[in-house]
């Protein structure tokens, strides 16, 4: 009888096992069609949504509800711990099965050889993963000033951001830059005070620096339990609970969440109660709905206020960007990352909670922004897209408004750093990776068809009345791309032989599509190719990538600073161009005036005298403007661009039959004549410099900056260090990292950012001109 019972139980198990296997085979078969591309070397889970034995439906894996999507970025100063935090997030969400380390060069998001060698992030990397039923598209961004554009173009497509701070340093130079960028795009954010285990870490100092320097209102949602070596966990202020990580746990997955009790933690409970009451008062000041609730039901005792009500109010305040939630932890020591993930899903917005005005014009049709291009040897250009409305599928023909061309998406992928999973469709709110778009560049707006774009333009025109009639219809629909900063460094680049020049041109063309801040131009005098970049490191990385990815041993000339030129007085010039080409005579006479512009302007300010402007045709007007712009590209002193000039055209006599090219040439020649007659001034780029140095080495650093024509603004105290803030000409700061390392025995760090262009003094200007002419 007992053996019969055992047989029946076993038979039941066999049946259930058969059913489970059948289900798994079906799901595996459907997943096989997704073709995950997983290389050897890292241990990844198979697909977003398949964590352990948790098998979800295919549709929920690919297209979760919009309310459950979070598009977030991780941003910070260099070395605050962005990539380590990202690595821990991926590990705890189940997407990697081993903890990567920046020092070991095996992190998921730093996959370029240059990133792994230097231990810094150069390219932003997109990762898609799930956490407690939410789909999170996370982008790890660089912290180095040379790659500020990478941060800018990623923030453009994000709905929320996590600002990571070094708890021992608080707000640093690049933190201010990325915070300003997030303000510009109106992005709600939360703060994570990382490195709480580091010697010198101070929670109060970091919070105060956020309040003082970023002019933000920090909401303390957590308090640390211990600091520096004694840091062992955090207190959840909202729920009055403590989270302690087990010292025996190697990976930080095991932690205890216990309520704070009067018996066991009287001091901690008192601190937490005070912090919670202060938090409630702070949120009530910022949110009227919550204030009514607090004053009505819970005015006598704040302890009775439910955590859910407080969390809802904190979310409203965060989305309104009137305050920022602050959390703390140590990513390297695996503490505080899981509560950070919970805060991302709880307080940062979903795509439908961001208000994008242009969406109403598309009425559900496809509208997407291409925000990044990568080149893959096998697949060709890979274009990252943020889908604002509609749906993208493979083999879909799409229209590029910027390029005015139609292309076909051959394949659609889900981004996972350098790994990609092929998927059948993706809906609004998601970030997609597309294959097959050969002409799309960073900042292009993608729609379903040209007719869809025109229909949206008509709707936009009706909405905005007739006041925008002068704008072209396409311009109205362009999503704002990113402002590309002007390069400050340039150097020549040469291939190993003339036969390799086409290969170099191809490599540079591909790299320019990936990185819009890289400019390439041809020197008209020498015929050499000139690279223009954002800094020494930027050009060094480009040179290294050409060698590794395209197999070209190129030669770089010496780095040179991108100067500008201007004029100091008003001059007038006249020129006549008389040419006969074939049986046509081209005759143009120009009389114009060049003078300093009243306001600073990169492009020349063009004015037409009344007698000229009335009779001038549109084609002639464009020819004059083209001639002026081309003449101002090369100044008379160094051949640098001319800025801050105003050109007034007093007279223009054109012989019938004269081509527009001849008009442009005559105007250009006349302006060059005027610029040569004027008093000229060289403008040099001035950099904001911030040096963090210990007290012992402050004097030699200040003495060195004085030799470099530095202008010290202030010296701040940051914990045990001194922070020197000032301005230094870019020409004097080349190779500064090596000198600073030598002066301070490697203990100091510095950050640079372009401030503006300023006039050189006459002595420095004559020295520079003499050096350029080979006289000194």
- Average pLDDT over the chain reads 80
In this predicted structure, what is the pLDDT of residue 102?
A: 61
Question: Is 83 annotated as a binding-site member?
Answer: yes
Taking residue 776's Cβ as centre, other Cβ atoms within 10 Å add up to 10
How many Cα atoms sit within 13 Å of 468 on the Cβ side?
16
Task: Inform me whether the pLDDT recorded for 39 exceeds 50.
Answer: no
In this predicted structure, what is the pLDDT of residue 234?
A: 93
Question: Is 523 annotated as a binding-site member?
Answer: no
Question: Is 445 annotated as a binding-site member?
Answer: no
Question: Is 251 annotated as a binding-site member?
Answer: no
Averaged pLDDT for residues 8-32: 36
The residue count of the chain comes to 776
452-497 pLDDT, tens digit each: 888 877 877 776 654 444 344 444 455 544 566 677 778 889 998 8
In this predicted structure, what is the pLDDT of residue 52?
A: 37
In this predicted structure, what is the pLDDT of residue 116?
A: 47
* Banded model confidence at residue 679, pLDDT cuts 50, 70, 90: very high
Question: Is 82 annotated as a binding-site member?
Answer: yes
- pLDDT, greater one: 633 or 466: 633
Task: Inform me whether the pLDDT recorded for 112 exceeds 60.
Answer: no
Task: Inform me whether the pLDDT recorded for 74 exceeds 80.
Answer: yes
Task: Inform me whether the pLDDT recorded for 231 exceeds 50.
Answer: yes
364-396 pLDDT, tens digit each: 788 888 887 877 777 788 888 888 888 899 998
In this predicted structure, what is the pLDDT of residue 624?
A: 92
Task: Inform me whether the pLDDT recorded for 27 exceeds 80.
Answer: no
148-203 pLDDT, tens digit each: 666 776 777 889 999 999 998 888 877 887 888 888 888 999 999 999 998 888 99
In this predicted structure, what is the pLDDT of residue 29?
A: 36
**Distance from C-alpha of 108 to C-alpha of 122, rounded to nearest angstrom:** 13
Question: Is 195 annotated as a binding-site member?
Answer: yes
Question: Is 143 annotated as a binding-site member?
Answer: yes
Question: Is 142 annotated as a binding-site member?
Answer: yes
Task: Inform me whether the pLDDT recorded for 625 exceeds 70.
Answer: yes
Provide the 3-class DSSP secondary structure of residue 322: coil
692-707 pLDDT, tens digit each: 888 889 999 999 999 9
In this predicted structure, what is the pLDDT of residue 165?
A: 93
155: which residues sit within 8 A by CB, 6+ positions away?
73, 75, 141, 161, 178, 181, 182, 185, 187
Question: Is 346 annotated as a binding-site member?
Answer: no
* Banded model confidence at residue 140, pLDDT cuts 50, 70, 90: low
Q: Are 529 and 94 in contact (CB under 8 A)?
A: no
274-333 pLDDT, tens digit each: 999 999 999 999 999 989 888 887 777 788 888 999 999 999 999 999 999 999 999 888
* Banded model confidence at residue 683, pLDDT cuts 50, 70, 90: very high
Question: Is 85 annotated as a binding-site member?
Answer: no
Report the DSSP pairing between strands 391-392 and 445-447: unpaired
Provide the 3-class DSSP secondary structure of residue 308: helix
Averaged pLDDT for residues 341-351: 93
Question: Is 77 annotated as a binding-site member?
Answer: yes
Of 577, 607, 602, 614, the closest CA to residue 592 belongs to 607
* Banded model confidence at residue 599, pLDDT cuts 50, 70, 90: confident
In this predicted structure, what is the pLDDT of residue 662?
A: 92
* Banded model confidence at residue 1, pLDDT cuts 50, 70, 90: very low
**Distance from C-alpha of 479 to C-alpha of 472, rounded to nearest angstrom:** 14
Instruction: Please state which of the ranges 312-321, 335-344, 505-514 shows the lowest mean pLDDT.
Output: 505-514
Question: Is 538 annotated as a binding-site member?
Answer: no
- pLDDT, greater one: 217 or 184: 217
Q: Are 497 and 511 in contact (CB under 8 A)?
A: no
Query: What stretch of H or E contains 97?
Result: none
Question: Is 399 annotated as a binding-site member?
Answer: no
613: which residues sit within 8 A by CB, 6+ positions away?
none
Averaged pLDDT for residues 245-250: 79
The model carries a pTM of 0.70
In this predicted structure, what is the pLDDT of residue 369?
A: 86
- pLDDT, greater one: 765 or 79: 765
Share of the chain above pLDDT 70, in %: 83
531-584 pLDDT, tens digit each: 888 777 788 888 888 888 888 899 988 878 888 999 999 999 999 999 888 888
- Percent helix, strand, coil in the chain (nearest 5)? 35, 30, 35
Provide the 3-class DSSP secondary structure of residue 660: helix
* Banded model confidence at residue 422, pLDDT cuts 50, 70, 90: confident
Q: Are 195 and 201 in contact (CB under 8 A)?
A: yes
- pLDDT, greater one: 292 or 55: 292
In this predicted structure, what is the pLDDT of residue 282?
A: 93
In this predicted structure, what is the pLDDT of residue 280?
A: 92
Of 724, 672, 719, the closest CA to residue 693 belongs to 724
- pLDDT, greater one: 145 or 675: 675
* Banded model confidence at residue 18, pLDDT cuts 50, 70, 90: very low
**Distance from C-alpha of 373 to C-alpha of 768, rounded to nearest angstrom:** 39
DSSP 479: P
Question: Is 586 annotated as a binding-site member?
Answer: no
Report the DSSP pairing between strands 419-422 and 411-416: antiparallel
Q: What's the per-residue H, E or C state across 606-661?
A: EEECHHHHCCCCHHHHHHHHHHHHHHCCCCCCCCCCECCEEEEEEEEEECCCCCHH
Per-range mean pLDDT, top range of 267-276, 462-471, 598-607: 267-276
In this predicted structure, what is the pLDDT of residue 149?
A: 66
* Banded model confidence at residue 137, pLDDT cuts 50, 70, 90: confident
In this predicted structure, what is the pLDDT of residue 418?
A: 52
Question: Is 229 annotated as a binding-site member?
Answer: no
In this predicted structure, what is the pLDDT of residue 164?
A: 92
**Distance from C-alpha of 393 to C-alpha of 379, rounded to nearest angstrom:** 17
């Amino acid at each position: 009888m007992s053996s019969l019972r055992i047989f029946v139980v076993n038979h039941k198990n066999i049946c259930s096992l058969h059913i489970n296997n059948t289900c798994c085979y079906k799901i595996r078969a459907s997943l096989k069609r997704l073709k995950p591309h997983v290389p050897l070397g890292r241990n990844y889970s198979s697909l977003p949504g398949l964590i352990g034995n948790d098998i979800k439906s295919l549709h929920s894996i690919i297209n979760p509800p919009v309310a459950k999507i979070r598009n977030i970025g991780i941003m910070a100063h260099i070395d605050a711990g962005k990539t380590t935090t990202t690595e821990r997030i991926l590990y705890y969400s189940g997407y990697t099965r081993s903890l990567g380390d920046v020092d070991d060069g095996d992190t998921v998001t730093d996959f370029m050889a240059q990133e792994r060698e230097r231990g810094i992030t150069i390219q932003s990397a997109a990762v898609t993963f799930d956490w407690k039923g939410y789909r999170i598209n996370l982008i790890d961004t660089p912290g180095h000033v040379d790659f500020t554009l990478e941060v800018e173009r990623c923030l453009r497509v994000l709905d929320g951001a996590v600002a990571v701070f070094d708890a021992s340093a608080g707000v640093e130079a690049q933190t201010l830059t990325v915070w300003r960028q997030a303000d510009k795009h109106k992005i709600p954010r939360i703060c994570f005070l990382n490195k709480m285990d580091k010697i010198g870490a101070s929670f109060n100092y970091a919070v105060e620096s956020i309040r003082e320097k970023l002019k933000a209102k920090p909401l303390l949602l957590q308090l640390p339990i211990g600091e520096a070596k004694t840091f062992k966990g955090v207190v959840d202020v909202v729920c009055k609970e403590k989270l302690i990580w087990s010292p025996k746990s190697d990976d930080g997955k095991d932690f205890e969440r216990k309520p704070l009790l009067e018996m066991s933690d009287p001091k901690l409970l008192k601190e937490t109660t005070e912090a919670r009451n202060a938090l409630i008062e702070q949120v009530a000041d910022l949110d009227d709905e919550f204030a009514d609730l607090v004053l009505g039901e819970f005015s006598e005792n704040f302890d009775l206020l439910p955590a859910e009500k407080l969390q809802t109010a904190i979310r409203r305040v965060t989305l309104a960007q009137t305050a920022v939630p602050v959390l703390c932890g140590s990513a390297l020591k695996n503490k505080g990352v899981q509560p950070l993930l919970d805060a991302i899903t709880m307080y940062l917005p979903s795509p439908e909670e961001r208000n994008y005005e242009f969406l109403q014009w598309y009425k559900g049709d496809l509208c997407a922004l291409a925000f990044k291009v990568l080149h893959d040897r096998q697949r060709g250009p890979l274009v990252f897209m943020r889908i604002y409305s509609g749906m993208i599928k493979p083999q879909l023909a799409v229209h590029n408004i910027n390029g005015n061309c139609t292309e076909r998406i051959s394949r659609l992928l889900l981004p996972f750093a350098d790994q990609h999973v092929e998927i059948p469709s993706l809906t609004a709110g998601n970030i997609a990776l597309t294959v097959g778009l050969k002409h799309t560049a960073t900042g292009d707006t993608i729609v379903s068809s040209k007719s869809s774009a025109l229909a949206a333009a008509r709707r936009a025109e009706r909405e905005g009345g007739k006041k925008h009639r002068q704008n072209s219809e396409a311009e109205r629909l362009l999503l704002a791309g990113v402002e590309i900063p002007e390069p400050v460094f340039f150097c020549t680049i040469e291939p190993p032989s003339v036969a390799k020049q086409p290969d170099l041109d191809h490599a540079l063309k591909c790299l320019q599509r990936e990185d819009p801040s890289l400019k390439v131009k041809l020197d008209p005098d020498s015929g050499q190719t000139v690279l223009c970049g954002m800094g020494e490191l930027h050009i060094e990385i480009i040179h290294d990538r050409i060698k590794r990815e395209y197999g070209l041993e190129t030669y770089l000339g010496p780095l040179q600073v991108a100067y500008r030129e201007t004029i100091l007085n008003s001059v007038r010039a006249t020129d006549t161009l008389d040419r006969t080409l074939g049986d046509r005579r081209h005759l143009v006479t120009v009389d114009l005036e060049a003078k300093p512009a009243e306001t600073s302007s990169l492009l020349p300010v063009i004015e037409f005298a009344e007698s000229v402007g009335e009779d001038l045709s549109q084609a002639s007007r464009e020819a004059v403007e083209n001639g002026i712009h081309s003449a101002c590209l090369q100044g008379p002193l160094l051949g640098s661009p001319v800025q801050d000039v105003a050109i007034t055209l007093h007279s223009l006599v054109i012989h019938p039959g004269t081509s527009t090219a001849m008009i442009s040439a005559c105007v250009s020649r006349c302006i060059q004549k005027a610029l040569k007659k004027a008093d000229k001034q060289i403008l040099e780029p001035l950099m904001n410099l911030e040096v963090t140095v210990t007290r012992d080495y402050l004097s030699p650093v200040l003495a060195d900056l004085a030799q470099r024509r530095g202008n010290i603004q202030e010296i701040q105290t940051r914990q045990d260090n001194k922070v020197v803030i000032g301005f230094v000409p870019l020409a004097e700061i080349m190779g500064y990292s090596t000198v600073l390392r030598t002066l301070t025995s490697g203990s100091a760090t510095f950050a640079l950012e372009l401030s503006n262009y300023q006039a050189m003094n006459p002595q420095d200007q004559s020295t520079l001109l003499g050096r350029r002419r080979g006289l000194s």
